[in-house]
């Protein structure tokens, strides 16, 4: 397999509601990524794109609907979809385009416009559940998280205040991100614990918001990196993905086994045996605060049940020994599902190429890992990157 | 790597123009509205058809896989672990244990409700460990419900059952000490 680097990235603002159409959002993110890599669309061999359920936009086949905005015009284009996992999965799909030798330079574009579904995107989340077993109970998407969070907290005896620390850290980190929707420099643990209870144990400030937005990356082969004299390429060192049984009521929700397997796949490729020592920072997927902890454990960055302790001790702060979500995460920047690629793989690129500006981790970093998570709590995608 | 500050130059705005809820409510921004008309009729399939029929009879049924010796619930015609056909139907009990739960103040459309919904996963006695279904809990309070609580199904009267997971109204706590 050929070596693959990320050589450019772009994203739009993340907001509850943006004026731009999906096509326009894709165009803006793609243009920013192309400019950052000093490339034009003629240099792009293929386009890979990702977006979550069509029902948000209300346009089925939305991959084709917004394709023009991604430069998907007289070029090979592929849309991939693994629910929330798409945020890290479409870069993996772009990676295999380049690693296989099929393409030299690939543009990856992820888009989500959740505000089109009015008045709240929650009503279409109802359509992801099993029609026979689950849907007659009129489930709400938050239930998934509430049930998983409760199981995780109870098994490990983790206090809610230790989980709230993740929301506080990420919303504060997001202050330094130009695209952030919910940055808050003054938020406290008490604010999170006093926020409205939606579905206990989930409270309003435990959750990332629905958002509109788009993000883009440019992936290139080692040959292209050399030919283009790229100053700071960031290399894809390992990729992994895995799905568990769709019979989610038959699994113990306290640990994401599928993520541990996806991580092992990526770590084997990246020759990582001791993740905690060999990885300098992480962007675990954080649609809810407890998910960052759950994912740190699934990414094998600590022992089961230990992530809350690392957070409490400040290890995961931007200047800590293992910074997590230095971007501000989904909790602080927003959660336009697939487009969170810009704050996961995008942040790894910006951090490892020294372009993260005010968000830059203050000490030396060489290796980062990120994941995304989707479907009914059973899919995860993982990428390891090195400067 | 240390910062080289090649971030987007200051003064260049990141793309995107925010619209507020007020602008939408007042109709002060141009928009187009549409309500889709989509209806579905799902075939329940081999395993779920029998499962729903048995619910109408007031019973829970599972499938046994002889290879891994698991009693699979909800039932399926193939074992996803062994990737072979399952072998036989077996009735399981209508008692179990709360594996996890939530106390929800949100309805299906994320609208706020004052009387909470108690919902969670119940692992059912007779199925393999931790195998169960999502359902409601009743006759509990937010103080009394807990993970590990033993529960029993409360069935609708036979004439009201339709072959649905809703043929069970909810699961209620078993008195202490009762299996």
Domains of chain A, with CATH numbers? 4-119+209-386 (3.40.47.10)
- Is any Cβ of chain A less than 8 angstroms from the Cβ of B103? yes
Using the 8-state DSSP alphabet, how is residue A251 labeled? S
Nearest to A146 among B1, B52, B104 (CB): B104
CB spacing of B36 vs A29 below 8 angstroms:
no
Q: Would you say residue B6 has pLDDT above 80? A: no
Q: Is residue B125 included in any domain, yes or no?
A: yes
Model confidence band, residue B24 (pLDDT cutoffs 50, 70, 90): confident
Q: What is the domain range of residue B80?
A: 45-173
A286 neighbors A373 (Cβ within 8 angstroms): no
CB spacing of B14 vs A25 below 8 angstroms:
no
Q: Is residue B53 included in any domain, yes or no?
A: yes
Q: Edge-to-edge, what's the strand order for the sheet holding A212-221?
A: A77-80, A46-50, A105-113, A212-221, A4-11, A234-243, A379-386, A367-374, A281-283
Q: Is residue B179 included in any domain, yes or no?
A: no
- Is any Cβ of chain A less than 8 angstroms from the Cβ of B77? no
B56 neighbors B77 (Cβ within 8 angstroms): no
pTM, whole model, 2 decimals? 0.95
Model confidence band, residue B175 (pLDDT cutoffs 50, 70, 90): confident
Q: Is residue B10 included in any domain, yes or no?
A: no
Low-confidence ranges of chain A (pLDDT < 50): none
Beta-strand (E) ranges in A13-95?
Answer: 46-50, 77-80
Q: Which residues of A touch B17 (CB under 8 A)?
A: 18-20
Number of separate domains in chain B: 1
Q: Would you say residue B178 has pLDDT above 80? A: no
By C-alpha distance, the chain B residue nearest A25 is: B16
- How many residue contacts between A and B have a Cβ separation below 8 Å? 195
pLDDT of residue A55: 86
Q: Would you say residue B153 has pLDDT above 80? A: yes
Contacts of A123 (CB under 8 A, 6+ apart): A117, B108, B109, B110
By C-alpha distance, the chain A residue nearest B163 is: A132
CB spacing of B52 vs A136 below 8 angstroms:
no
Q: Is residue B40 included in any domain, yes or no?
A: no
- Is any Cβ of chain A less than 8 angstroms from the Cβ of B76? yes
- Is any Cβ of chain A less than 8 angstroms from the Cβ of B72? yes
Residue linked to tokens 């995780």: A152
Q: Is residue B26 included in any domain, yes or no?
A: no
pLDDT of residue A204: 96
Q: Would you say residue B1 has pLDDT above 70? A: no
Please state, rounded to an integer, the average pLDDT across all residues of chain B: 92
Nearest to B105 among A13, A136, A197 (CB): A197
Model confidence band, residue B36 (pLDDT cutoffs 50, 70, 90): confident
Model confidence band, residue B120 (pLDDT cutoffs 50, 70, 90): very high
Taking alpha carbons only, the member of A110, A106, A124, A159 closest to residue A293 is A159
Q: Is residue B4 included in any domain, yes or no?
A: no
pLDDT of residue B4: 46
pLDDT above 90 covers a percentage of chain B that reads 79
pLDDT of residue B179: 56
C-alpha dist (Å) from residue B155 to B58, B164, B176: 7, 11, 21
pLDDT of residue B57: 97
Which of the residues A117, A233, A250 would you substitute to probe the B interface, choosing the one with the greatest number of B C-beta atoms within 10 Å? A250
Q: Is residue B160 included in any domain, yes or no?
A: yes
pLDDT of residue B154: 98
For residues B26-38, average pLDDT = 89
């Amino acid at each position: 397999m050929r070596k693959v680097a990320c050589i450019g990235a772009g994203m739009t603002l993340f907001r509850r509601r943006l004026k731009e159409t999906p096509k326009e959002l894709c165009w803006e993110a793609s243009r920013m990524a192309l400019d950052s890599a000093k490339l034009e669309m003629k240099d792009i061999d293929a386009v890979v794109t990702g977006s979550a359920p069509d029902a948000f936009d209300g346009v089925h086949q939305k991959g084709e609907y917004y394709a023009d905005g991604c430069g998907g015009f007289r070029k090979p284009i592929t849309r991939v979809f693994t629910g929330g996992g798409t945020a890290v999965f479409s870069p993996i799909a772009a990676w295999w385009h380049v690693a296989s030798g099929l393409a030299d330079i690939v543009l990856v574009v992820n888009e989500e416009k959740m505000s089109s579904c009015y008045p709240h995107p929650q009503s279409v989340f109802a359509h992801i559940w099993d029609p026979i077993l689950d849907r007659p109970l009129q489930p709400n998407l938050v239930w998934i998280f509430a049930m998983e969070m409760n199981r995780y907290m109870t098994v490990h005896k983790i206090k809610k205040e230790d989980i709230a620390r993740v929301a506080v850290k990420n919303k504060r980190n997001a202050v330094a991100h130009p695209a952030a929707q919910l940055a808050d420099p003054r938020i406290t643990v008490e604010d999170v614990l006093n926020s409205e209870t939606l579905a206990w144990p989930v409270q309003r400030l435990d959750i990332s918001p629905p958002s509109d937005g788009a993000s883009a990356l440019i992936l290139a082969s080692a040959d292209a990196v050399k030919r283009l004299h790229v100053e700071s390429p960031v290399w894809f060192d390992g990729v992994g993905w895995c799905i568990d049984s769709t019979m989610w009521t038959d699994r113990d929700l306290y640990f994401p086994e599928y993520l541990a397997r996806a991580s092992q796949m990526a770590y084997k490729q990246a020759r990582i045996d001791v993740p905690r020592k060999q990885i300098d920072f992480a962007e675990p997927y954080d649609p809810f605060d407890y998910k960052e902890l759950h994912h740190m454990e699934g990414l094998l960055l600590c022992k089961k049940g230990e992530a809350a302790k690392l957070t409490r001790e400040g290890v995961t702060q931007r200047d800590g020994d293992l910074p997590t979500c230095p971007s501000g995460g989904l909790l602080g920047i927003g959660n336009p599902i697939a487009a969170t690629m810009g704050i996961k793989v995008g942040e790894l690129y910006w951090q490892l190429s020294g372009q993260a500006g005010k968000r830059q981790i203050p000490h030396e970093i060489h290796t980062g890992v990120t994941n995304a998570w989707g479907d009914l709590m059973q899919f995860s995608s993982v990428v390891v990157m090195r400067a | 790597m240390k910062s080289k500050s090649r971030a987007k130059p200051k003064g260049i705005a990141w793309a995107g123009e925010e619209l507020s809820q007020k602008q939408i409510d007042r109709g002060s921004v141009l928009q187009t509205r549409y309500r889709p008309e989509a209806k579905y009729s799902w075939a329940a399939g081999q395993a779920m058809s029998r499962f729903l029929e048995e619910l109408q009879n007031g019973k829970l049924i599972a499938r046994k896989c002889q290879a891994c010796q698991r009693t699979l619930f909800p039932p399926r015609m193939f074992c996803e672990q062994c990737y072979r056909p399952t072998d036989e139907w077996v009735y399981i009990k209508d008692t179990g244990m709360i594996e996890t739960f939530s106390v929800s103040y949100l309805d299906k459309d994320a609208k706020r409700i004052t009387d909470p919904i108690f919902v969670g996963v119940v692992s059912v006695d007779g199925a393999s460990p931790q195998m169960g279904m999502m359902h409601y809990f009743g006759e509990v309070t937010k103080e009394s419900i807990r993970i590990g609580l033993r529960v029993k199904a409360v069935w609708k009267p036979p004439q009201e059952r339709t072959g649905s997971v809703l043929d069970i109204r909810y699961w209620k706590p078993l008195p202490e000490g009762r299996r």
